[in-house]
Every structure is written in structure tokens, then in C-alpha cells.
């Protein structure tokens, strides 16, 4: 009401400014007075609209609270139940202050509790649970005798209890409450807790209880979760736990590597079907040079982008590269076949300009010096991942946008380049270039894992390749 009166007072001052002694007002001045009244009507309407909106909120809140109070038949039994008691404190801490903010001039007769009482309630719930031998499932699902319908625990409540159990060294109990939190998020769509945080604490708690398999499963789920931007391990784990946690993490990563290696073997040995080209097309990017001689592209995967670009190298270029590299490899230790740097700077620059044109990278792009390798017949499966997480590498060398593998010849058999997670296998095509974009370090573990690649053994003949990383230095 005070806001409304202030608005009306301002409008009245505006109307009085048009009075000039005993003289009559002009038509224009009368129109201004008419507009003033219209503004007053609008001010009253806006006030009533806001007042009605706030009143509807208060009515709804009153109706809900009346329903809750009607469910409570015996106050003593009600507060003896830890879930009911926790619900009461939550209402007083989180909900009632907002209600009083809508009631102008009204203040509670007694001071409302603050959030510290909620933390004490979490501690009391855990102690009560241990004393009475009640499972986390019974309490989380509202099955505890005497729990009223309104007093259910949310995913956020279960998470708070789990975190308390973790930090008070009740690790088995923490695992149980984290499981209940996960179920509420997954089955009920309850987003009052972060799935990433739940998975991270699950990894830590299971690791420290000796459940290695469980910790590996939780670690994988955490790393592939879109929301994985929670606390770091150092923030969560005390010094004496770091060694044990690192062991679990290392085991989990090794397990991932083993599975990736198995997928790579399946592709190399053709035990699983791999993806064929999605699209084949000619590109020119409206470039006059490419319009005269467009390049043929096989798109192998869209997101992330992987493509084989044909006819990139000329015959004389490939012969020259191999001959120069053979003489350089003669200086290497016995059994080593590179990589050696392509020392022809003119050719390096020409190839970099050519690939910049073919990929249409509208950036100040530069590449590392091309490196040539000879892969002889036989050998083992090898895998690698092209991403950089060290800040100094990014700042000094530039962001690794993509990777290029030039195929300088075709082995008689074998020598495929495979991407196990994408189920993409690429046979070497002489004169072509395999190009893909690297996942950036902030795109998450799942994107990085998708771009893991491997080289299948050469079964007959040999394989000459030249590789380079395309970088952008800001």
C-alpha cells in the first residue's frame, strides 16, 4: 500500500504543476491531466495485480501448511520420527522466511532457526539410524513407521546425509545413502542433487572401503557424465587417503585401456563390423583453385568429424619424401624407423597451405613440422589419444585443433588406422590424408575417449606415413 500511495503522490504533483493562478487551462494542459489520471489507474492496476499474485502464493502456502498440520495427529510421535522432524526444520529454515517476506509488517514471534540446525539434524538422523539399525533404503523411501506423506527425503537430503557419513568415516553407510540418492535422480527425476557429485563421492567411498570393482564402475560413470565439473579429489580426500584413491583411479584407467585395446583388436581382426563412409563429396569452399580441381572427401564420422581426403599428395612429392627419410633413418639406431622430420621447408609450407585450403580453417593456423615414419611388417597393436591438458603446452605451442596422417604408400595387407569407440577403420590410400578434429580439454572425458585411435599391425609389406598436428596459437 505504501508503494501505491507514493506512486499516486508523484502523479498528483505532476497534475498540480499545470495550475496557473485564476487563469483557465489550455486544451493541451487538460489532455495532460487526462493522461495523469490514466497513469494513476495503471498504477493501481499494477499494484492490484502484484498484490493478487502475492496473495495467491500466500493462499497456496497456507493451504499446503494446513494440509500438513491436519496430518499430524500426535505432535510428540510426529517429532520422534527423524524424517518428520527433519521435514519440520527444513520448513522453518527454508520456506517460512520466504513466506514472511510476502507478509508486509508481519514478523514471527519467535526467531526462526538457521541452516546450522539442519546440519545438526543430519547428524542426529545418522546417529538415530545406527542406534536403531534401520536401513538407508527404508528411510529414503519413506517406509519408516510413522513417516507422514509430506515428510519425504529428496535427493538433496539423501546426498547431504551421505556426505556427512563420508566425512565422519562411516563409509559403508555413505555408500548406501549415495545409492539412494542416485536412485532418486535416475528414477524420479529429482535434480536437487548433482549426479556428478554423487558419482564422485561413490568412487571415493567405495575405493576406501576396498570395493575396487565398485569404485571402477563409479569412476567410469563419473568421467563420462556431462555434469562432471564438481570438486577435485584434493578437495575431498585427506592426505592419508590420497595413495589409496590414486591406486583405485589408476586401476580404473588401466581397465579402460584394456577394454579399448580389446575393441581395437576386434576392428583390426575384422571380428566386428566397422562403419563405412557416411558421405562422399567434392569440396571447393568457393576457392578458385579448388573449383578447378576439387578434392574428393570421404566423411567417416560427423561428430566428431573424421574424413579421408583423397589426392592430397602428388607422386613426385611422395617419392621425394620417402627417399629423403630413408637417408635420415640410416643415422638412427638399429631397428628404429623414425619418426624423422621432413627437412624440406618449402614442401612443409606448401603442404600446410594445401591442408589449410582443404579444411577451410579460417584461423591463424600453423602446424608442427611433418614427421615421417616407416611401419614395418609385424609389430604390436598401438593406441594413442590426441589431446593436451597441460596449460603450459596450450600456452606455448597453441591449441591442438586437429591431426593429419598422410599415407605415402599402401601396404599389401593390414596397417589400418582405427577409432574403436567410433567403430571407424581406415585403410591406407596412397596420396590421401586422414584428418580429424581433436576434442578440447574442456569437452569432458567421454569426448576424449571417443577419439582414441590405434594402428593395426602391417601384415604384409610396409607402411609409410607422415603426420602433423594442426595448431592455433592465439
Segment 53-71, tens digit of pLDDT: 777 777 777 777 777 777 7
DSSP sequence for 37-67? HHHHHHHHHHHHHHHHHHHHHHHHHHHHHHH
d(CA 452, CA 362): 26
pLDDT recorded at residue 252: 63
> Predicted confidence band at 160 (pLDDT cuts at 50, 70, 90)?
very high
Most confident of 64-78, 189-203, 231-245, 445-459: 189-203
Residues with Cβ within 8 Å of residue 334, at least 6 apart in sequence = none
Residues with Cβ within 8 Å of residue 296, at least 6 apart in sequence = 280, 281, 282, 309, 310, 311
Whether a cis peptide bond, with omega within 30° of 0, leads into 205 is no
Segment 300-316, tens digit of pLDDT: 988 888 999 999 999 99
Q: Which residues pair with 309 in a beta bridge?
A: 297, 433
pTM over 0.85: no
Given a contact cutoff of 8 angstroms between Cβ atoms, the answer to whether 306 and 421 are in contact is no
Parallel, antiparallel or unpaired: strands 453-455 and 371-375? unpaired
Residue 12: pLDDT over 60:
no
Residues with Cβ within 8 Å of residue 199, at least 6 apart in sequence = 182, 218, 221, 222, 225, 228
Angle between helices 212-224 and 195-208 (to 10 degrees): 160
Closest CA to 164 of 120, 109, 219: 120
pLDDT recorded at residue 19: 46
Given a contact cutoff of 8 angstroms between Cβ atoms, the answer to whether 397 and 249 are in contact is no
What nine digits make up the cell of 383? 593406441
Q: Residues 354, 291, 370, CA angle at the centre, nearest 5°?
A: 10
Angle between helices 171-188 and 115-132 (to 10 degrees): 110
User: In the chain, what percentage of residues exceed pLDDT 90?
Assistant: 18
Given a contact cutoff of 8 angstroms between Cβ atoms, the answer to whether 196 and 222 are in contact is yes
Min mean pLDDT across 29-33, 222-226, 261-265, 417-421 is at 222-226
Mean pLDDT for all residues in the chain: 76
d(CA 139, CA 162): 13
**451 exposed, middle or buried (CB, 10 Å; 0-12, 13-18, 19+)?**
buried
Coil, strand or helix at 205: helix
- Residue 364 or 166, more confident: 166
Whether a cis peptide bond, with omega within 30° of 0, leads into 339 is yes
Domains in the chain and their CATH numbers? Answer: 115-240 (1.25.40.10), 274-471 (2.60.120.620)
Residues with Cβ within 8 Å of residue 69, at least 6 apart in sequence = none
Average pLDDT for 116-140:
89
Provide the CB-side half-sphere exposure for 194 (13 A, CA): 13
Q: How far is CA 56 from the centre of its chain?
A: 39
Coil, strand or helix at 201: helix
Given a contact cutoff of 8 angstroms between Cβ atoms, the answer to whether 196 and 219 are in contact is no
Segment 431-441, tens digit of pLDDT: 999 999 876 54
Q: 403 — phi, psi (to 5°)?
A: -130, 145
User: In the chain, what percentage of residues exceed pLDDT 70?
Assistant: 70
Average pLDDT for 129-142:
90
Average pLDDT for 136-150:
83
H, E, C per residue of 199-222: HHHHHHHHHHCCCHHHHHHHHHHH
Residue 395: pLDDT over 50:
no
CB atoms within 10 A of CB 319: 13
Residue 274: pLDDT over 80:
no
pLDDT recorded at residue 109: 60
What nine digits make up the cell of 307? 574424413
Residue 293: pLDDT over 60:
yes
Given a contact cutoff of 8 angstroms between Cβ atoms, the answer to whether 96 and 108 are in contact is yes
CB atoms within 10 A of CB 361: 14
Residue where the block lists cell 613426385: 316
Given a contact cutoff of 8 angstroms between Cβ atoms, the answer to whether 415 and 458 are in contact is yes
Amino acid at each position: 500500500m505504501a508503494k501505491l500511495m507514493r506512486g499516486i503522490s508523484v502523479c498528483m504533483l505532476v497534475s498540480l504543476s499545470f495550475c496557473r493562478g485564476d487563469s483557465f487551462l489550455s486544451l493541451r494542459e487538460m489532455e495532460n491531466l487526462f493522461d495523469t489520471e490514466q497513469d494513476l489507474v495503471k498504477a493501481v492496476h499494477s499494484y492490484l495485480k502484484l498484490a493478487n499474485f502475492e496473495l495467491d502464493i500466500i493462499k497456496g502456502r497456507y493451504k499446503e501448511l494446513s494440509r500438513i498440520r491436519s496430518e499430524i495427529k500426535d505432535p510428540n510421535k510426529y517429532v520422534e520420527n527423524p524424517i518428520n522432524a527433519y521435514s519440520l526444520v527444513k520448513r522453518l529454515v527454508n520456506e517460512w522466511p520466504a513466506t514472511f517476506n510476502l507478509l508486509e509488517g508481519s514478523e514471527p514471534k519467535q526467531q526462526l532457526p538457521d541452516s546450522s540446525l539442519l546440519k545438526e539434524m543430519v547428524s542426529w538422523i545418522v546417529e538415530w539410524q545406527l542406534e536403531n539399525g534401520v536401513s538407508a533404503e527404508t528411510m529414503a523411501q519413506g517406509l519408516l513407521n510413522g513417516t507422514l506423506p509430506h515428510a519425504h527425503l529428496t535427493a538433496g537430503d539423501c546426498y547431504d546425509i551421505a556426505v556427512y557419513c563420508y566425512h565422519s568415516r562411516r563409509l559403508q553407510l555413505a555408500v548406501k545413502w549415495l545409492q539412494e540418492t542416485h536412485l532418486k535422480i535416475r528414477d524420479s527425476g529429482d535434480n536437487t542433487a548433482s549426479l556428478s557429485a554423487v558419482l564422485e563421492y561413490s568412487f571415493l567411498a567405495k575405493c576406501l572401503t576396498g570395493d575396487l570393482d565398485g569404485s571402477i564402475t563409479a569412476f567410469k560413470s563419473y568421467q563420462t557424465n556431462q555434469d562432471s565439473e564438481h570438486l577435485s579429489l584434493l578437495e575431498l580426500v585427506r592426505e592419508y587417503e590420497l595413495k589409496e584413491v590414486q591406486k583405485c583411479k589408476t586401476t580404473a584407467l588401466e581397465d579402460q585401456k584394456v577394454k579399448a585395446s580389446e575393441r581395437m583388436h576386434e576392428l583390426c581382426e575384422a571380428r566386428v563390423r566397422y562403419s563405412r563412409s557416411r558421405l562422399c563429396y567434392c569440396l571447393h569452399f568457393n576457392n578458385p583453385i579448388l573449383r578447378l580441381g576439387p578434392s574428393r572427401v570421404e566423411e567417416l564420422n560427423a561428430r566428431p568429424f573424421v574424413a579421408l581426403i583423397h589426392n592430397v599428395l602428388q607422386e613426385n612429392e611422395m617419392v621425394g619424401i620417402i627417399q629423403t627419410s630413408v637417408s635420415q633413418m640410416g643415422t638412427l639406431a638399429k631397428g628404429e624407423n623414425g619418426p624423422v622430420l621432413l627437412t624440406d621447408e618449402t614442401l612443409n609450407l606448401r603442404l600446410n597451405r594445401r591442408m589449410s585450403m582443404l579444411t577451410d580453417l579460417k584461423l591463424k593456423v600453423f602446424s608442427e613440422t611433418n614427421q615421417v615414419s616407416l611401419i614395418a611388417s609385424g609389430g604390436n597393436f598401438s593406441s594413442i589419444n590426441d589431446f593436451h591438458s597441460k596449460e603450459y603446452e596450450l600456452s606455448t605451442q597453441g591449441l591442438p585443433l586437429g591431426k593429419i596422417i598422410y599415407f605415402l604408400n599402401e601396404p599389401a595387407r593390414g596397417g589400418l588406422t582405427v577409432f574403436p569407440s567410433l567403430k571407424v577403420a581406415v585403410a591406407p590410400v596412397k596420396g590421401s590424408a586422414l584428418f580429424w578434429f581433436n576434442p578440447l580439454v574442456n569437452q569432458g572425458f567421454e569426448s576424449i575417449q571417443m577419439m582414441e585411435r590405434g594402428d593395426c599391425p602391417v601384415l604384409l609389406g610396409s607402411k609409410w606415413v607422415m603426420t602433423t598436428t594442426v595448431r592455433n596459437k592465439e
